[in-house]
């Protein structure tokens, strides 16, 4: 793998690439969801051999989490100097606690220190987190472990009849400087998912050709959560190339079939020898999708630059051989890149088994010591930390974001996600939709409603419902969205969810309609006349069914400007939640009630300021924030009518005595010639209204005050079309 100079140069390359990534900033990144518990692991310094350093493990939780186990895992070659490596903590919500230890390293080499926190909720759910430090310890110099090279050698586990040369001819890494010398992956034939023939007996097309065949395996754990590799599995649909060992010229290429076999026809290079190289790369005929695992983001999104690969030792075949079997070769190290490619192939295959290329291409940036983070960069690559391959849920979650981006034609709604965002906590309807979809996509592909994190913590998305502890309710919660989509899909009866509506309809909507939130999804579902039982599945996951549209507002259909008119409406909520009603008067203004009982009829009044034709409609919003459609509109025709002129200030005595009657008069005009009546406000909370009179007349009103005081008497006029004037200037009356 190279000497120290190579290691430090690779570190510089990775570090610079990280700085470049930080500087980009313009592409929004969607990260993995957090469990309620978060771990942060730091070290006081990077020690040299036999020098002590302090580890600080900070643990926090957004909920109370009694009896949480926190551990620091030291690798062989390191030892505890002071402190403790494990503790039980009773975490309080939003109050961090700590586990501290002093350690030293007793030999040189690469080391991984892990810190985990784990809180058991029940048999199906737990909270936790995992963080790791990657250190390279030397006698006089130490550092954070740099990223590895992206190629390695494989080990022959079952021999064939090809001759293996014990020593290797130096490999030249695939990079941009020699990329043009290699055949492009885009020119290679794709793989058909139904391809099933074993290539064991394939013969070359001519007597001058050599057919190279064999099989590839890697250490595998096919479970959703896979902290260790406990078996070997065949590489399926991976790219294989045969290169001449002397100059790395590509002699032939092809893909492994579903049983792990490959068969590639080449021109026999004779004594120059050849090597067979396995790539963490797959490409499918449908849409020419590329799925790639690279060690550095500079590897881009297409081709073979920085794609993880493994080479056999140099081999030769006799010039008389027409077929040579290289036997079975096993990936020697960094085999988790194979896990990641297999995850992508599984997810791509699930979506595309009966449909066009809906899922689309994907590139994962991963290496075993990465701490860059877990996220998807819109329109770009998926980034995983060194520990993320332990969970297939995480890999497929991030690919789920990429699938949505591809399905939405290279667009995604603004996610509005806080950082961090939690599976069980409210964020925003956009965030809950994009993250909820990714969570659902992961459990869908894995065919299990339980989502796993690399820490070993897990969350069952099927079981939570109304009242489940430590869960927020509603469409702003990504876990609720994931659970609702799962309940729509699955065939397990679960509370209100007694229906199996399948993935096809979900896929049709998501891949054609571009939703920005869950309400969009539900509305589109119903507009397609799909089963209304979807609301049962949705309600099971506390995503409230919206109220029914209110009745059409009832009231007069015609009137005059500046006059008040009354209307009434009501609405019902399927879940019997309280409602508030909003009326849109059609003139740019609205009126709103407070919360009322479902079905309660309420009245509104309104004055239009000018003539016109107005559409009066109503909408209901329930106590969970879900809104109905607008009601049918009541058409109201308002004719022109000017309000009466402001009356003159009342005339009459301005000094008097209590309990004695006094008379006052006023006058006003009306441009429409309408009859008028006047309302006198006596300043003590009482009013008197006159009978109808002609405009310009001087009506009178009498009043006696019951107590001494200073009172402001004012008056206003109303015409026969209910238009009301402004209040007059007041007359100040002193009563003794």
Residue for token digits 């000017």?
642
Contact 653, 608 (CB under 8 A): no
For residues 63 and 132, membership in a common domain is answered with yes
Confidence band of 166 (pLDDT split at 50, 70, 90)? low
Confidence band of 169 (pLDDT split at 50, 70, 90)? very low
pLDDT score at 23: 33
CA atoms in the 13 A half-sphere facing the CB of 496: 21
The candidate with the shortest Cα–Cα distance to 311, out of 11, 5, 1, is: 1
- How far is 450 from 483, CA to CA, in rounded Å? 10
**At which of 639, 674, 693 does a domain end?**
639
Contact 579, 547 (CB under 8 A): yes
In a domain, 647, yes or no: no
The candidate with the shortest Cα–Cα distance to 569, out of 587, 596, 534, 533, is: 596
Q: For strand 709-719 and strand 250-255, is the pairing parallel, antiparallel, or unpaired? A: unpaired
Q: What is the DSSP string of 502-566?
A: -HHHHHHHHHHH--SSHHHHHHHHHHTT--TTHHHHHHHTT-PPPPPPPPPPEE-SEEETTBEEE
End-to-end CA distance of the chain: 108
What value does the mean pLDDT of the chain take? 87
Confidence band of 357 (pLDDT split at 50, 70, 90)? low
In a domain, 469, yes or no: yes
Residue 470 has pLDDT above 70, yes or no: yes
- State the DSSP code for 441: H
Residue 95 has pLDDT above 70, yes or no: yes
Mean pLDDT of 343-350: 92
In a domain, 504, yes or no: yes
pTM score, two decimals? 0.74
For residues 80 and 164, membership in a common domain is answered with no
- How far is 237 from 338, CA to CA, in rounded Å? 11
Residue 523 has pLDDT above 60, yes or no: yes
Retrieve residue 507's tokens: 């896929």
Residue 497 has pLDDT above 70, yes or no: no
The candidate with the shortest Cα–Cα distance to 521, out of 667, 360, 404, 634, is: 404
- How far is 456 from 476, CA to CA, in rounded Å? 26
For residues 615 and 498, membership in a common domain is answered with no
In a domain, 302, yes or no: yes
Residue 54 has pLDDT above 80, yes or no: yes
Tell me the torsion sign for CA atoms 38, 380, 434, 337: negative
Comparing 29-33, 163-167, 528-532, 659-663, the range with the smallest average pLDDT is: 163-167
Retrieve residue 233's tokens: 């599995």
For residues 303 and 190, membership in a common domain is answered with yes
- How far is 94 from 30, CA to CA, in rounded Å? 24
For residues 105 and 156, membership in a common domain is answered with no
For residues 526 and 659, membership in a common domain is answered with no
Residue 539 has pLDDT above 80, yes or no: yes
CATH of the domain at 567: 2.60.40.10
The candidate with the shortest Cα–Cα distance to 434, out of 457, 409, 402, is: 402
In a domain, 699, yes or no: yes
CA–chain centroid gap for 727, Å, is: 57
For residues 109 and 225, membership in a common domain is answered with no
What strands, in cross-sheet order, belong to the sheet with 602-607? 554-555, 564-569, 602-607
Beta bridge partners of 620: 581
The candidate with the shortest Cα–Cα distance to 234, out of 104, 329, 150, 357, is: 329
Residue for token digits 């885009």?
186
**At which of 535, 567, 598 does a domain end?**
535
pLDDT digits (tens, 9 = 90+) for 686-699: 999 999 999 999 99
User: Buried (b) or exposed (e) across 273-298, using 16+ Cβ within 10 A?
Assistant: bbbbbbbbbbbbebbebbbbbbbbbb
For residues 571 and 592, membership in a common domain is answered with yes
Choice between 307 and 319, residue whose per-residue pLDDT is larger: 307
Whether residue 508 is preceded by a cis peptide bond, meaning omega within 30 degrees of 0, is no
pLDDT score at 712: 96
pLDDT digits (tens, 9 = 90+) for 633-645: 999 999 888 889 9
For residues 230 and 304, membership in a common domain is answered with yes
For residues 631 and 662, membership in a common domain is answered with no
The interaxial angle of helices 392-407 and 336-352, nearest 10 deg, is 40
Mean pLDDT of 46-51: 94
Mean pLDDT of 457-484: 94
**At which of 473, 503, 535 does a domain end?**
535
Most confident of 4-13, 334-343, 531-540: 334-343
- How far is 164 from 316, CA to CA, in rounded Å? 7
CA distances (Å), 102 to each of 46, 78, 113, 200, 533, in order?
A: 12, 11, 13, 57, 59
CA-based R_g, the chain, Å: 38
Retrieve residue 419's tokens: 């950082």
In a domain, 496, yes or no: yes
The interaxial angle of helices 429-446 and 478-489, nearest 10 deg, is 40
Domain tally for the chain?
5
Domain that holds residue 501: 413-535
Residue 294 has pLDDT above 90, yes or no: yes
Contact 676, 650 (CB under 8 A): no
Comparing 197-206, 286-295, 436-445, 496-505, the range with the smallest average pLDDT is: 197-206
Residue 706 has pLDDT above 90, yes or no: yes
Contact 553, 565 (CB under 8 A): no
Tell me the torsion sign for CA atoms 512, 513, 514, 518: negative
pLDDT score at 149: 66
- How far is 471 from 192, CA to CA, in rounded Å? 43
pLDDT digits (tens, 9 = 90+) for 16-39: 333 333 333 333 788 788 899 999
For residues 618 and 666, membership in a common domain is answered with no
In a domain, 92, yes or no: yes
Contact 536, 497 (CB under 8 A): yes
For residues 165 and 309, membership in a common domain is answered with yes
Choice between 284 and 365, residue whose per-residue pLDDT is larger: 365
Confidence band of 681 (pLDDT split at 50, 70, 90)? very high
In a domain, 61, yes or no: yes
Residue 580 has pLDDT above 70, yes or no: yes
CB burial class (10 A; 0-12, 13-18, 19+) of residue 402? Answer: buried
φ, ψ at 167 (rounded to 5°): -95, 155
pLDDT score at 598: 92
Choice between 106 and 623, residue whose per-residue pLDDT is larger: 106
For 609, residues 6+ apart whose C-beta sits below 8 A from its C-beta are 561, 562, 587
For 92, residues 6+ apart whose C-beta sits below 8 A from its C-beta are 61, 64
């Amino acid at each position: 793998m190279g000497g120290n100079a190579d290691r430090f140069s690779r570190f510089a390359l990775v570090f610079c690439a990280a700085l470049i990534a930080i500087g980009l900033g313009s592409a929004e990144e969607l990260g993995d969801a957090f469990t309620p518990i978060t771990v942060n692991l730091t070290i006081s310094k990077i020690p040299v051999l036999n020098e002590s350093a302090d580890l600080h493990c900070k643990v926090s939780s957004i909920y109370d989490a009694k009896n949480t186990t926190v551990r620091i895992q030291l690798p062989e070659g390191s030892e505890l100097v002071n402190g403790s490596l494990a503790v039980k903590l009773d975490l309080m919500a939003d109050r961090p606690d700590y586990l501290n230890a002093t350690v030293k390293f007793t030999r040189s080499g690469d080391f991984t220190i892990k810190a985990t926190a784990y809180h058991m909720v029940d048999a199906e759910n737990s909270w936790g987190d995992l963080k790791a430090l990657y250190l390279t310890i030397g006698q006089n110099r130490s550092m954070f472990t740099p990223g590895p090279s992206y190629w390695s050698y494989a080990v022959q586990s079952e021999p064939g009849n090809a001759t293996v040369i014990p020593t290797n001819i130096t490999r030249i890494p695939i990079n941009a400087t020699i990329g043009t010398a290699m055949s492009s992956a885009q020119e290679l034939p794709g793989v058909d998912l139904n391809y099933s023939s074993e290539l064991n007996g394939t013969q070359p097309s001519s007597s001058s050709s050599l057919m190279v065949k064999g099989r590839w395996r890697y250490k595998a754990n096919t479970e959703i959560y896979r902290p260790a590799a406990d078996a070997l599995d065949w590489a399926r649909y991976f790219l294989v190339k045969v290169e001449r060992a002397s100059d790395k010229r590509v002699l032939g290429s092809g893909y492994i079939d579903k049983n792990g076999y490959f068969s590639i026809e080449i021109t026999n290079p004779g004594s120059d020898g050849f090597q067979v190289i396995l790539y963490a790369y797959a490409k499918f005929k449908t849409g020419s999708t590329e799925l790639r695992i690279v060690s550095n983001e500079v590897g881009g999104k297409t081709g073979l630059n920085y794609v993880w690969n493994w080479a056999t030792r140099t081999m030769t075949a006799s010039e008389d051989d027409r077929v040579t079997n290289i036997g079975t070769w096993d990936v020697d190290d960094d085999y988790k890149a194979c896990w990641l490619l297999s995850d992508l192939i599984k997810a791509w295959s699930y979506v595309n088994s009966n449909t066009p290329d809906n899922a689309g291409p994907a590139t994962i940036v991963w290496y075993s010591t990465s701490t860059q983070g877990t996220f998807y960069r819109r329109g770009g690559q998926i980034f995983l930390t060194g520990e993320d391959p332990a969970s297939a849920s995480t890999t497929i979650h991030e690919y789920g974001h990429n699938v949505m981006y591809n399905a939405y034609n290279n667009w995604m709604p603004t996610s509005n996600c806080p950082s961090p965002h939690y599976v069980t906590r409210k964020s925003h309807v956009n965030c809950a939709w994009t993250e909820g979809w990714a969570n659902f996509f992961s459990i869908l592909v894995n065919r299990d409603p339980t989502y796993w994190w690399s820490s070993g913590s897990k969350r069952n998305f099927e079981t939570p419902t109304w009242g489940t502890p430590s869960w927020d309710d509603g469409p702003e919660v990504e876990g609720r969205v994931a659970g609702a989509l799962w309940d729509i899909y699955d065939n397990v009866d679960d509370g209100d969810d007694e229906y199996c509506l399948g993935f096809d309809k979900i896929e049709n909507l998501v891949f054609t309609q571009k939703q920005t939130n869950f309400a969009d999804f539900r509305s589109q579902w119903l507009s397609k006349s799909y089963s209304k039982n979807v609301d049962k599945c949705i309600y099971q996951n506390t995503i409230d069914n919206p109220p029914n549209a209110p009745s059409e507002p009832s009231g007069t259909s015609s009137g005059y400007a500046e006059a008040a008119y009354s209307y009434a409406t009501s609405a019902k909520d399927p879940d019997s939640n309280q409602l508030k009603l909003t009326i849109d008067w059609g003139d740019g203004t609205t009126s709103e009630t407070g919360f009322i009982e479902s079905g309660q009829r309420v009245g509104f009044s309104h004055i239009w300021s000018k003539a016109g034709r107005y559409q009066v409609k109503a909408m209901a919003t329930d106590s969970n924030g879900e809104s109905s459609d607008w009601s049918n509109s009541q058409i109201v025709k308002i004719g022109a009518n000017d309000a009466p002129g402001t009356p003159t200030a009342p005339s009459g005595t301005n000094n008097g005595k209590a309990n004695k009657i006094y008379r006052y008069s006023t006058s006003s005009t009306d441009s429409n010639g309408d009859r008028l009546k006047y309302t006198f406000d006596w300043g003590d909370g009482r009013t008197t209204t006159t009978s109808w009179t002609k405009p310009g007349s001087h009506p009178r009103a009498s009043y006696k005050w019951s107590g001494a005081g200073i009172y402001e008497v004012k008056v206003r006029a109303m015409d026969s079309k209910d238009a009301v004037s402004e209040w007059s200037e007041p007359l100040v009356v002193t009563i003794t």
